[in-house]
Structure 1
Amino acid sequence: MYFWNYSTFLIVFVLFYHQTCYAEFLGLYPYETETRELKSLDGIWNFKISPKDQPKEGFDKNWHESLFDEDDDCMEMPVPSSFNDITTNKTIRDFLGVVWYQRTFFIPKSWFGKKKIIIHFGSVHYLTNVWINKEYIGYHLGGHIPFEFNIEKNVREGINIITVAVNNTLTESSIPQGFTSYPNNTVRYPPGYKLYSHNFDYFDYAGINRPIKLYTTPLCFIADIKILSSLKGSTGYLDFKVVFEPSSANTECIVSLKDKKGLTITTTNSCSATLKIDNVKLWWPINTGYESVGYLYTLEVFMNCDQDYDIYRLPVGIRTIKWNSHNLFINDKPIYLKGFGMHEDADIRGRGFDYSILVRDFNLIKWVGANAIRTSHYPYSEEFLNEADKQGLLVILETPACSLNAFTENLLINHAEILKKMVKYNKNRPSVIIWSLANEPYTNLDSSASYFSYLVNITKTLDKTRPVTFVTSQSFENDKAVKYMDIICVNRYSAWYQDPGHIDLIQHQVINELTSWHENFMKPVIMSEYGAGSVTGLHVIPSSMWSEEYQVEIIDQHKKAYNILRGQGFIIGEMIWNFIDFNTPQEYIRPGQCAKGLFTRNRQPKEAAFKIKKLYQIN
C-alpha cells in the first residue's frame, strides 16, 4: 500500500505501523565483512517531477511500471544529493510534492541462494515509497533517519529496476512541521492560490540526500549488538549482548575485543557477557588535552547459527558519562564543550552527503580547536557520526523537531517514533553524549510540559546513560518544559536580535540570564547558540552590524562572559551559531543565506574563525 496524500498517510501510519511493508533498520551500520558483501547504488539516476498540483499522477499512471529514460521529461539526478540546486530550473529548486527516481542495477550471482539481500537508505526526505521490478517494496516516513528493506524475494538475475517516489511536503503533524494555507485575499492572490511555509530558518533540501547501499547477510545473522562501558580505576568493563535473527535459532558466539593494532585483548564464548580490560585506553574527546583521543577498540563477533555463521565488527569506545546539577563528566573528568551548531549544507549538493565535504569539515573543526558540535537541527549522516567516533568529536544529537508550535497527539506519535529510532540507531556511539529532543519549541505553551515529559520518559527507558535536553529560546520565567531536562541549552543573541548594535550589553545580559537559568532549575547550562551575521569581506571601523569586525567583537564579549561564569561552576559549554554560512528560504532579512558562519559556505575562514581559534586554544 502506498500513499500520495500525506494527511491520509499519517492516519494509516498510526493504525498500521506494524505492517511488513513499513521500512525498518535493525541498528548495525552496513560494514563489509567475510560474511557480508556490499554494493553501492550511488550515481546518476533518472528523475522526474509530478505536474504542478497533481502529486497523484505518478501513482495513478503507474510510473513505477515504465522506464523513465524513454520519457521526454526525464532528467539526470545525482544520488546522493538534494535535487533542489542541481538544475537551472526554478520550479525544481522550489518544488513541493512528489519527485520520482529510477535506475537499473545488477545483483551479483553469488548473492542468490542462502543469503538475505537488504537495501539500506541513509536518508530520504521526507515520505518515501519504493518499488523494485514493478513490485511495491514499502514506505518510510521521515528524513534524516536510515531505513532498510529486505529485497531478496524481489530481485532477480539480470537487470533490476528500482523506482523511488519522494514527497517532501511537511504538515502540522510531521517532524519538522510545515503549513499549507489558501489565503482569502483575491486582491493579492488568485482563487485557490496555495502558500506553503515552515517555522525553521534553513532551506528544506529534499530528495535522496544520503547513500544507498545493497548488502547481504546470512539467513541467520547478527541483527544488533548492545554495549555499555564502565570504568573502575585503570580497568574498563564492556557489557555486551548480541541480538540475532531469527531469535529462535540455535546460536553460539565467539566474541573478541581487539585494540587498534588488531591484537586480541580478551575473548569469550558467550553471546552476552562482561569483558574486563586491564590498563584500558579510554575514548577521550579531541582538543581537551587528554591522550588516546577517539580511541576505538573493535568488538569482533563470530556467530555460529544452524550450520551457518555471521561475522560483524563493531567499533567501540570505552568512556563514561555522568552529570549533576553543575557539571558534565567524561570518564569522571569535568568536560567543557567548545564548538558550534552546524548544518549539512553545501553548494550544489544541498544536504546531499559528500565525502570531500565531510573530511574538509573535520579538518576545520580540528583547526579551530573545537571539541563538540550539535547536529542542528536533525540527526546527521551515519558517515559523519562514524567520523565523530573516530576523531573524538563530542556530539549533541538532535531530532528533526525544529520550532514546534503546537503539541498535538499526532505530532507526539511521530516525534516519539523518530526519537526512538535516533536513540536505537546511535546507542553505541561514544561520540554521542547528549540527546536533544528539539530545537526552539514553543515551550511557553502549557501543553508543552506533558509533551516533553513523555519524550523524556521514552528516552530514559531506552538509554539511562546519557543526559537529555532540548534547546530553548524561551525565558527562564515562562518555559514550561525545561524542568524535565538534565541539562539546560539556551539560544540567545545579545546585540543581534536582542538589542542590536549594543555590544556593551553582552556581558551583563549573558551573565545574568544564564545565572538565572541555573538558579531557577539547578541544572548545568550550555549556551547552545549565540553569534552574529557577517557579510564576507565587509570591513568597517568602528565596527557595525554585518561587518566581520562586529562578528569578532560579539564573540569576544561573549567569551569574556563565559570565562566569568565558568568561575561560578555551572556553565558547561558554549556553541557558536554557526560553523558555516548556509542556505535559507528567500527572505528580505537575509541575502540568500544565513551569514552567521565562522566559515563561508565553501569552507573558507572569516575573521571570526581566527578569533575563535585563538580563544579556544587559550581555554
Structure 2
Amino acid sequence: MKRIILFVGILLINLVTNAQQKIRLNNNWEFLKQDIGSIWETVRPLTKDGPDNYPLWQKVTLPHCFNARDAVDPAGNYYQGPGWYRSRLNINNPYKNGRTLLFFEGAGQKTDVYVYSTKVGAHAGGYDEWFVDITQAVEDFKKTDAFAKQFKGTIPIEIRCDNSRDVESIPSQLSDFDVFGGIYRYLDLVYQPALGIDNLFASVVLDKQYKTGTIDVQATFYNPDQVKKAIGNIKITDALGKTVAETVYNIDVDNDGAVPVGKFKVNNPHLWSPNDPYLYEITIDAGGYTRKEKIGFRDFLFADNGPFYLNGKRLLIRGTHRHEDQSGVAAAMTDSMMYREMRMIKEMGANFIRLGHYQQSRIILNLCDSLGLLVWEEEPWCRGGLGGDKYKEQARRMLTNMIHQHYNHPSIILWGLGNENDWPGDFPEFDKAKIRAFMSEQNDLSHRLDPSRKTVIRRCDFCKDIPDVYSPTIWAGWYKGKYTEYRKYSEDEFKNVKHFFHAEWGGDSHSGRNSELADKALENIRNSAGIIDTTLFNKSAELLKNADWSENATCNLFDWTLKEQDTMPWLSGSAFWAFKDFSTPIRFDNPLPYMNQKGVVESDLTKKEIYYLVQSYWADKPMAHIYGHNWPVRWGDDGELKMVKAYSNCNEAELFVNGKSYGIKKRNSQDFPAAGLRWMVQFKKGRNELILKARKGRVIVTDIVSQVYQTEKWGKPAKLKLEKIGEGNGSVTVQATLLDSKGVLCLDAVNWVSFSLTGDGTLLDDLGTSKGSAKLQAINGRAVISIKTNKGNSVVSVQSPGLQTVFLSL
C-alpha cells in the first residue's frame, strides 16, 4: 500500500503577529450599496451649500456582506451588483524601506482597490487570499495638498466589490448557494520589511515506524526591491514551548521560485490525529519581525478498494459539510462565530469536514488543525459547464492559490477539483470531452503543487476515473429510492471506483415540524420478531411521504444510514449534507424561502433533533437526549400507545413518564430506530413530564422534556390567532396559531403564514430561521417571530391565504 506523507508549513500572513506587523481594519468604514459615477464621488470634499455626502453612505464594520439580509428576504432574489467601501487609515510603517500591504482574506466576487483616486490593484475570485501593495501610492498621496488639508494626515482607501452575474467566473450562479458580495472576511493592514516571505513550506517525511520526522523548509519571497540576501533564525517548538530543532539561515534570494531555508530532524514526533490534534510551532525571525505557524505530523492512506487509514490505523471518516454563511451576517462571519460553529461540529463527534464549495477562511483551517478535523477543501468549479480561456485561467489561479495558501495545514487530506460538473446550463455547449480534459489538467496541476495529498470530485460520473478519490451521488431516501436501500446503493458505487468516499447524504427538515406518522409507519413494518422488515416499506411509503420535512422522519433516515455505516468495514467514510442550514437563490418555495434546510442545526446554530441523533453515534462524551424538545404538543387517541425515542451513546437508559418507569433499554446500534432506546408510552391528556436517565460506566446523564398530549380532533384551518408569548431585553415574541372552526389547534397544518409590522418597532426577520422569518410554512400549526420594540408602539399582523388577517397591538 502506498503511503501519503503530509506537507506542513507556514501561511502567507499568520494570525499570530505583533501589532506593528498586522492590524485588522474592522472599524471606521462606510458602505454604499450601488455603483458610483466616478471615483471622485468617494473622495470629493463636502461643501456648505452643495449636495454634501450624496449618495448617502452607511457606517459598517468589517467583515461585512451586502447580502446579510436580502439573501433570505422572501420578497425576491438577493442583490447582485457593485458595492463600495471607504475609510481613512493612519499608516506608519515601522520598517526602513518597508512595504505596506492591504491583505484580503476574501472578498466577493471581483474587487478594485484605490488610494484616493489612484487604482492600486484588482482581484477576481471571492474566496482566495490576496494582497495589494499600496506603498508607493501612499507615499505619492502624502505629497498632495489633500493629504494635509482634506484628510488631515490620513490615507483615503476606497474598495469596490461586485458580485454581478458572470458566466465566465466561478462558481456558477446555478449553484445551490448564494454567491455573496462584500468584504466578508477580515481585511488587514500589513507592514513588512523590504524583503518579505511570500510562502513558506515545510515538507515532512515520516519513517515507516513514525520514529523520526524530517522537515525540509523552503520559501518564496515578495521582493519588489530585488534584495539579494535573506538572513534569520528558524526553530521548531513542541506544544509545551520546548525547542526541538533550530538553525540560522543565510540564503540567496531567488525571485522566481522557492529556495531552501532549513532542514530539521525530529525524533519520536508526537503524531497529529482527530483524537489527539497535537501541534508543533515553527517560528521564523527575519529582518526584525517574527512569524509563527502551527504544524503537525501525520500520514494517511485511502486503501485500494478499501477503507481509510490514518497513521497506520483504520479510521472511519465521520463528517459533515459547511458553507460560510450564518443567520444575520451571511458570509461575514467573525472569528468567534466560526469558533462556536466548529466547536459544535467537534462536540457532535465529527472527525472530518468538507468545505463546500470553495476555499474558506484561514480561521476555519486553523480551527480544524487545533480541534482535530480532517478536511476536504475544493476550488469553486461548481455546476454550469465549462467556460472559455478567462474562466479556465481563474479556475487554475484559484486552485493554485488554495493549495499554496492552505498547503501547510495538517488537517487537509483532500483537494477538491469540482462539484457536480455534470450539471449543464451556463453555455450553449456542454462538451463532456472538454470538461474531462480540463478536469485532467486541474488534477495534474494539483499533484504538481502538492504531491502529498489526494484529489477528489463529487458527482461527475464521466470524470470519476480522473481524481484519486471519487464521491458519487446516492441520497438514499431523499432524492433516490428508500433509505433502507442505502447499503445496496453504496456497495454498487463502491465497486465502480478504486477509492470511494460518500459525500452528501441526508434530507431536509423544517426545524420544529414533527409528524406522528413518521414513527407510526415504522411500527407498522415490524415483523413478528419485532425487527424492521424492509420488504414492507412499500406498504408504508405514503405514510413516510406524508412525513416529509418533519424532523422525526429525517431523523429516521439519518438513524438508518448511520447504523448501516457502522457495519460497512470497507467504507472509507462519509459526510452528511450539511451541518447548518444556508441560503440559496434556487429554493424559493422551501418551507423557509430561499433556505436549504438540510442542516442538523439552523443557520443561527440552533440545534435540531438530528444533531443529537448524530452525536449519539459519533461522540465519546456521555450524552442523552429525549426526542421532542421542539415538539411541544403531541396528538392521538385516548389510550393510544406512542413511541418515545431517546438518542444516547450510553450503554443503557431508563425512561420515566409522569413518574412511572417504562423500563431499562440496552443500546444496540443495529436495533433501529434509536439504537433500541425507544418505548411505547401511553400519554395522559394535557401535560406530560418525561425524564431519561442513561448510564455509561459510572457516569449517569439525565434529560427532561415536557409535552402536551392533545386528543381533540380538528378540521381544516379556519382562523388565525395571534398572541404575545414572551417579552424581555427590549423585544416581544408573538405566536400565530392555526385553528379550526371550533378553535382546536390544527397540529398538522402547514399553511403559509406571513407577518408584517407597522409603528415604532422593528420586525426581526430575514434571518433564515424558523423563528426569524416573516414568511414561512407553519410548524405544526404554529409560527413565531420577535419584534424589537424600540420603546414605542407597534401593530403586528399575520396573514395566511384564505383566512382573515389578525392584528395585535404591542
Distance 2:387 2:573 in 1: 29
- The verdict on how the C-alpha distance between 1:328 and 1:63 changes in structure 2, with shifts beyond 3 A counting, is farther
Q: Which residue type is aligned with residue 553 of structure 2?
A: Y
1:214 has 2:203 as partner: no
Inter-partner Cα distance in structure 2 for 1:446 and 1:256: 49
Alignment partner, residue 338 of structure 1: 318
Of 76, 79, 104, the match for 1:95: 79
Q: By how many angstroms is 1:136 displaced?
A: 1.0
The aligned residue for residue 21 of structure 2 is 37
| Ranges of 4+ aligned residues in structure 1 off by more than 6 Å | 87-93
Confirm or deny: 8 A CA contact 2:474 2:489 kept in the other structure. no
Q: CA deviation at 1:64?
A: 4.2
Distance 1:84 1:175, change over 3 A: same
Q: Does 1:311 align with 2:290?
A: yes
> 2:113·2:159 contact (CA, 8 Å) conserved in 1?
yes
2:68 maps to a residue whose letter is: D
Q: Higher relative CO (CA 8 A, sep ≥ 6), structure 1 or 2?
A: 1
Question: 1:302-361 CA distances to partner (integer Å, 9 max, x unpaired)?
Answer: 33xxxx444322211112233331233322333221111111111221111212311211
2:277 match: 294
Does residue 521 in structure 1 map to residue 497 in structure 2?
Answer: yes
For residues 446 and 516 of structure 1, do their structure 2 counterparts lie closer, same or farther at Cα, with a shift above 3 Å needed? Answer: farther
Secondary structure of the residue aligned to 2:161 is: strand
Distance in structure 2 (CA, Å) of the matches to 1:590 and 1:380: 28
Identical-pair percentage: 23
Cα pair 1:437 1:470 within 8 Å, conserved: yes
Q: Is the 8 A contact 2:71 2:178 kept in 1?
A: no
Identify the range of structure 1 (417-426 vs 243-252) with the bigger mean alpha-carbon deviation: 243-252
Question: 1:282 corresponds to which residue?
Answer: 271
Match of 1:460 in 2: 447
Q: Structure 1 160/112 Cα, relative in aligned 2: closer, same or farther at 3 Å?
A: farther
Alignment of 1:584-599 (within 5 A): 584-585=584-585, 587-592=588-593, 593-599=595-601
Note closer, same or farther for the CA distance 1:418–1:514 as it changes in structure 2 (3 Å cut). same
Match of 2:199 in 1: 224
**Secondary structure in structure 2 of the residue aligned to 1:153:** helix
Match of 2:61 in 1: 78
Give, in whole Å, the separation in 2 of the partners of 1:469 and 1:317: 22
> In the alignment, residue 267 of structure 2 is paired with which amino acid?
D
- Residue type of the partner of 1:143? G
Matched residues in 1 for 2:33 and 2:415: separation?
36
Aligned-partner Cα distance in 1 for 2:413–2:71? 41
How far, CA to CA, are the matches of 2:182 and 2:133 in structure 1? 22
Q: How does 1:318-467 map to 2 (within 5 A)?
A: 318-325=297-304, 326-406=306-386, 408-442=388-422, 445-467=432-454
Equivalence for 1:183: none
Q: 2:515 aligns with which of 540, 543, 556?
A: 540
Decide which structure has the larger Cα Rg and report it: 2
Aligned to 1:160: 155
The whole-number CA distance in structure 2 between the counterparts of 1:445 and 1:121 is 35
> TM-score under structure 1 normalisation?
0.82
CA contact (8 A) 2:14 2:292 kept: no
Which among 556, 561, 565 is matched to residue 559 of structure 2?
Answer: 556
- In 1, distance between residues paired with 2:553 and 2:400? 42
Opposite residue 57 of structure 2, the aligned amino acid is C
The within-5 A match list for 1:17-56 is: 28-31=12-15, 33=17, 37-50=21-34
Contiguous gaps of at least 5 residues in structure 1: 1-25, 178-197, 287-292, 500-504
Q: Which of residues 230, 235, 239 is equivalent to 1:256?
A: 235
Query: Which position in structure 1 is the counterpart of 2:676?
Result: none
> Per-residue deviation at 1:245?
4.5
Please state how far the C-alpha of 1:516 moved relative to its aligned partner: 2.6
Name whichever of 365-374 and 235-244 sits farther off.
235-244
1:530-553 superposed Cα distances (whole Å, 9 cap, x missing partner): 111111111112211111101111
* Matched-pair contact (CA < 8 Å) for 1:321–1:465: no
- Structure 2: unaligned runs, 5 residues or longer: 1-9, 47-51, 143-152, 250-259, 424-430, 519-546, 620-648, 650-668, 670-810
Tell me: CA distance 1:72–1:175, structure 2 relative to 1, closer, same or farther (3 Å): closer
Q: Which residue is equivalent to 1:200?
A: 175
Question: Is the 8 Å Cα contact of residues 385 and 435 (structure 2) preserved in structure 1?
Answer: no
**1:145 paired residue number:** 128
Does structure 2 conserve the Cα–Cα contact (< 8 Å) formed by 1:35 and 1:217?
A: no
Measure, in 1, the Cα distance between the counterparts of 2:406 and 2:462: 28
Find 1:497's aligned residue among 472, 479, 485. 479
Q: SS state of the match for residue 579, structure 1? A: coil
CA deviation digits over 1:73-130, x for unaligned, max 9? 222233212112358997998322211111112113x537432111111111011000
Greater per-residue strand proportion: 2
Aligned-pair distance for 1:608? 0.7
Contact 2:469 2:498 in 1 (8 A): no
Give the equivalent residue in structure 2 for 1:174.
169
Asked if the contact 1:83–1:92 (Cα under 8 Å) also holds between the matched residues in 2, the reply is no
Asked if the contact 2:414–2:453 (Cα under 8 Å) also holds between the matched residues in 1, the reply is yes
The size of the alignment, in residue pairs, is 542
The 8 Å contact of residues 271 and 297 in structure 2, kept in 1 or not, is answered as yes
Distance in 2 between residues matched to 1:210 and 1:70, nearest whole Å: 27
Aligned mates of 1:248, 1:173 — CA distance in 2? 38
Q: Secondary structure at the match of 2:203?
A: strand
CA distance in 2, matches of 1:311, 1:600: 41
**Contact between 1:529 and 1:577, CA under 8 Å: does it hold in 2?**
yes
- Residue of 476, 479, 483 corresponding to 2:465: 483
